[in-house]
Amino acid sequence: MATEATTVYKKRANFSRASLPYLYLAPAFIVMGVITFYPLIYQMIISFSDFALKDLLHGLSSTNLRWIGFKNYVDILTGGLPVQDFAFFRVLTYNFWWAITNVMVHVPAGILIAVLLNINGLWFKKIYRAMYVLPVMIPTIVVATVWRNIFDEQYGAMNQGLTALAHLFGSGQIVQIRWLFEYKPPIPWLLPNAPLPLAYYAMMIANFWLGWPFMCLVATGALQSISRELYEAASIDGATGAQQFWNITVPLIRPAMIPAAVYGFTLSFNLFSFVYFMTGGGPARSTEILVTFVYDLVRNLHLYGAAGAFSVIIFIVAMIVFLVTNRITHATASYSEA
Amino acid sequence: MAVATQSQSKKNFLVRFFTMDTSGGRGTGRKLPLWRQLVLQLLCLLLLLEVMFPLMYVITMSLSSKTERPTTLRLIPNEFSLVAFKQVLNQPTANPVTFLVLLRNSTLLSFGVGALALLIAVTAAYAFSRFNFKMRQVLMVLVFIPLLMPAVGLSAPLFLLLNSVKFLNCGANVVALTPFTSCVAGVTGKVLFNLRDSLLGVGVAMISGALPFAVWNLKGYLDTIPKELEEAGKIDGASSNQIFTKIVLPLATPQLAVTFFLGFIGYWQEFALPWLFLTKPSNYTLSMTLYNMVGQYATSIPWNRFAAMSIIVAAPVCIIYIALQKQIVSGLTAGGVKG
């Protein structure tokens, strides 16, 4: 570009070109530096201390602060925290299972429904599309409260519906399933390290309601960008609809769906307000995920040091997950490889 | 399509389901046979029922005049009482705060965070999309950290950090800004402004959580803007900053709107951080009042008012969505599909 310019000019131009991206990134990193990285480092520091309510006023300069090395980490991993019903690896296993099963249900459902709504000549398409997305717009706290109500033992819609169904089949029984409080896992062999109580299934149903519309939205966008000629060419070549689906639709929406699935995974993995309001992690912490537990440590138990250590552990876990999924995303996202 | 479907009639339903023209085109395709149309309509209606079931439950409750929890399942309102709506509009909380104040706070917070996050995110997204520099990969991973480490997990140090920024009135017309300056030794001073206990502070704390999605969504879109346009600008003598502000930004406007809105849904509903940080009722937001109703007095939730408030909080988001529907659908995937 600057072939005829003097060397000085070239150097200056090179310098400003080289520093330009950093200039553009500066605002983002200044904000994150204060709001994310500083607290993260602070958490790391206090994770080696017994930081508690007594130290809140003076922070790190508090005279009562004792440095206890890796005790918080050891306590968390071995169950030495003064907290009932807590086993780190059980919660971790559950958290992963929760996120993975959610995404595995939401993504295919979203794609199938998007395909359904993309059928040529279907009536009321626009109305369905507009209505189906409503769950995304409702505040999570409302969603969780309503679903908690639906799964209520006495007055919940689910039990009432099942009772009506039982009547239909001639049984006079009143169904009173303790959806959110029954601890005994209905399918004990599924995930033996982290028994899945009924509440898990109830939450899967509720989160299904919340989760597929977003995936459907993404899939709809992706479907609409596929050129019609591809399908026409395929049908001229004699490809069946199923072949078209697997050989045109799936590969072409994959680049859009994989990042959405990764995003959905991290979202489910840290789905704080939904879990917090639906079950509060109960019964007996069996539906607790990592973030609800750390919130409990801070808000109710005021064990800031332990919470710091816990946050660091969440961070490491999430980072590993992110790097792995990022790998997968990048490996498959590009158009040419798909 | 027409050729292929002729011999399909004996195949099973699933196969036939996918033999339908799902390319979404208009006009050129054959008409859907009526029975198939009806089966599909039934499927769509079932899905609609699934979606509307909890929503109808809320709507029915909001139109009830009773505050108790309904004991029978009712999805179609049997009374149309606007008592609950009137009550939450007149006095949304137990505190003497008007609905308009809550609305103003929610609006300020969500628009402020949205606008600022967008500004920061679009410059970062531009850098990631257009420049190849050292540490690019590392920095991109760093941008995603707020997604991995939600603000709830960092709330304790954030609280301490924001809480340390205060304007103090030390008396005798001396104002100190801690932690940078402080009153004379021995004088504690009266707190005039505490960043932690303000909408500004909460907004600052929310911005970084907004960045990952915004950067990701915008970068995907910027990747699709042809480089040739920028090269043409360069030949015409535009500087790098001019290329960004005069060429790239205008082209990205639709995507900026979509990203803003998708983030806006989140900030509009955010209650965890405001609830942890804010203490003055005059700073409360609409979604905090929802939490106020179910969080603390969980045993005696005023159900009809809660439902009415839910609808009021959800309404603006729904209205904006319906207005922007088309742009949102294409904007969400612009990056993924073409990049």
Predicted pLDDT at B23: 54
For A76-114, give the DSSP string: HHHT-SS-TT--HHHHHHHHHHHHHHHHHHHHHHHHHHH
Q: Does B179 touch chain A (CB under 8 A)?
A: no
**CB pair distance less than 8 Å for B216 and A122:** no
Interval A297-324 mean pLDDT: 85
Predicted pLDDT at A100: 92
The answer, yes or no, to whether residue B4 has pLDDT greater than 60, is no
Which DSSP category does A37 fall into?
I
Structure tokens at A202: 């109830």
Partners of A304 on chain B (C-beta within 8 Å) are 156
The answer, yes or no, to whether residue B11 has pLDDT greater than 50, is no
* Distance (Å) from the alpha carbon of B80 to chain A's nearest alpha carbon: 20
SS (H, E, C) chain B: CHHHHHHHCCCCHHHHHHHCCCCCCCCCCCCCCHHHHHHHHHHHHHHHHHHHHHHHHHHHHHCCCCCCCCCCCCCCCCCCCCHHHHHHHHCCCCCCCCHHHHHHHHHHHHHHHHHHHHHHHHHHHHHHHHCCCCCHHHHHHHHCHHHHCCHHHHHHHHHHHHHCCEEEECCCCCEEEECCCCCCCCCCCEEEEECCCCHHHHHHHHHHHHHHHHHHHHHHHHHHCCHHHHHHHHHCCCCHHHHHHHHHHHHHHHHHHHHHHHHHHHHHHCCHHHHHHCCCHHHCCHHHHHHHHHHHCHHHCCHHHHHHHHHHHHHHHHHHHHHHHHHHHHHHHHHHHHC
Are the beta carbons of A51 and A308 closer than 8 angstroms? yes
Q: pLDDT-derived band of residue A329, with 50, 70 and 90 as boundaries?
A: low
The answer, yes or no, to whether residue B273 has pLDDT greater than 80, is yes
Grouping H, G, I as helix, E, B as strand and the rest as coil, residue A190 is coil
Partners of B155 on chain A (C-beta within 8 Å) are 295, 298
Nearest CA in chain A to B31: A121
Grouping H, G, I as helix, E, B as strand and the rest as coil, residue A64 is coil
Task: Give which of B23, B218, B254 is closest to A233, Cα–Cα.
Answer: B23
The answer, yes or no, to whether residue B8 has pLDDT greater than 50, is no
The answer, yes or no, to whether residue B337 has pLDDT greater than 70, is no
Partners of A326 on chain B (C-beta within 8 Å) are 141
* Distance (Å) from the alpha carbon of B48 to chain A's nearest alpha carbon: 7
CB within 8 Å of chain A, chain B residues 9-68: 14-26, 28-32, 37, 40-41, 43-44, 47-48, 50-55, 57-58
Interval A281-302 mean pLDDT: 84
Interval B193-213 mean pLDDT: 86
Nearest CA in chain A to B307: A142
For A274-324, give the DSSP string: HHHHHTTT-STTTT--HHHHHHHHHHTS--HHHHHHHHHHHHHHHHHHHHH
Question: What amino acid occupies position B246?
Answer: K
The answer, yes or no, to whether residue A327 has pLDDT greater than 70, is yes
Exposed, middle or buried: residue B101 (CB in 10 Å: 0-12, 13-18, 19+)?
Answer: middle
Partners of B332 on chain A (C-beta within 8 Å) are 217-218, 221
**Residue in B9, B22, B182 to test binding to A, most A beta-carbons within 10 Å:** B22
Interval B107-121 mean pLDDT: 92
Structure tokens at B278: 């804010």
* Distance (Å) from the alpha carbon of B177 to chain A's nearest alpha carbon: 17
Nearest by CB: A40 against B8, B37, B149: B149
Q: Is the dihedral of CA A328, A331, A334, A335 positive or negative?
A: negative
Predicted pLDDT at B299: 60
Q: Is the dihedral of CA B254, B255, B256, B258 positive or negative?
A: positive
What angle (nearest 5°) sits at the alpha carbon of residue A106, between those of residues A104 and A109?
105
What angle (nearest 5°) sits at the alpha carbon of residue B128, between those of residues B137 and B263?
105
Predicted pLDDT at B27: 44
Q: pLDDT-derived band of residue B333, with 50, 70 and 90 as boundaries?
A: low
Nearest by CB: B120 against A28, A258, A299: A28
Lowest mean pLDDT among A192-201, B66-75, B155-164, B300-309: B66-75
Nearest by CB: B207 against A35, A40, A140: A35
Q: Bigger pLDDT: B148 or B199? A: B199
Q: What percent of chain A has pLDDT over 90?
A: 11
Interval B216-243 mean pLDDT: 84
CA B73/CA B63 separation, integer angstroms: 14
* Distance (Å) from the alpha carbon of A254 to chain B's nearest alpha carbon: 8
Residue entry with tokens 């299934």: A201
* Distance (Å) from the alpha carbon of B332 to chain A's nearest alpha carbon: 6
Structure tokens at B325: 């529907």
Structure tokens at B157: 């140090």
**CB pair distance less than 8 Å for B22 and A118:** yes
Give me the domains of chain A, ranges plus CATH numbers: 1-33 (no CATH), 86-333 (1.10.3720.10)
Predicted pLDDT at B329: 74
* Distance (Å) from the alpha carbon of A301 to chain B's nearest alpha carbon: 12
The answer, yes or no, to whether residue B160 has pLDDT greater than 50, is yes
Nearest by CB: A39 against B70, B157, B325: B157
The answer, yes or no, to whether residue B290 has pLDDT greater than 80, is yes
Nearest CA in chain A to B301: A145
Partners of B240 on chain A (C-beta within 8 Å) are 16-17, 20
Nearest CA in chain A to B148: A318
Partners of B321 on chain A (C-beta within 8 Å) are 133, 137
Q: Does B330 touch chain A (CB under 8 A)?
A: yes
Q: Does B177 touch chain A (CB under 8 A)?
A: no
Partners of A257 on chain B (C-beta within 8 Å) are 336
Nearest CA in chain B to A259: B336
Number of inter-chain CB pairs under 8 A, A vs B: 338
Predicted pLDDT at A13: 57
Structure tokens at B177: 């800004």
Residue entry with tokens 């059928």: A119
Task: Give which of B208, B120, B136 is closest to A24, Cα–Cα.
Answer: B120
Nearest by CB: B330 against A145, A221, A226: A221
Alpha-carbon A129 to chain mean position: 24
Give me the domains of chain B, ranges plus CATH numbers: 86-338 (1.10.3720.10)
The answer, yes or no, to whether residue A61 has pLDDT greater than 80, is no
CA A102/CA A106 separation, integer angstroms: 6
Predicted pLDDT at B2: 42
Q: pLDDT-derived band of residue A330, with 50, 70 and 90 as boundaries?
A: low
**CB pair distance less than 8 Å for B211 and A32:** yes
Lowest mean pLDDT among A195-209, B149-163, B264-278: B149-163
CB within 8 Å of chain A, chain B residues 255-284: 265, 268-269, 271-272, 276
CA A186/CA B296 separation, integer angstroms: 32
* Distance (Å) from the alpha carbon of A310 to chain B's nearest alpha carbon: 9
Nearest by CB: A298 against B25, B51, B156: B156
Are the beta carbons of B169 and B192 closer than 8 angstroms? yes
Q: Is the dihedral of CA B60, B65, B69, B71 positive or negative?
A: negative
Residues 6+ apart with CB under 8 A from B183: B168, B170, B174, B176, B189
Structure tokens at A180: 């959110």
The answer, yes or no, to whether residue A293 has pLDDT greater than 80, is yes
CA A266/CA A22 separation, integer angstroms: 27
Q: Which long-range contacts (CB under 8 A, 24 or more apart) does B71-80 make?
A: B71/A155, B72/A155, B72/A160, B73/A157, B73/A160, B73/A161
Predicted pLDDT at A2: 45
Structure tokens at A172: 């006079």
CA A129/CA A179 separation, integer angstroms: 31
Q: Tell me the whole-structure pTM to 2 decimals.
A: 0.81
Structure tokens at A234: 């395929």
- Edge-to-edge strands, sheet with B166-169: B175-178, B166-169, B190-194
Give me chain B's average pLDDT, please: 79
**CB pair distance less than 8 Å for A218 and B332:** yes
Interval B199-223 mean pLDDT: 85
Q: pLDDT-derived band of residue B28, with 50, 70 and 90 as boundaries?
A: very low
Give me chain A's average pLDDT, please: 82
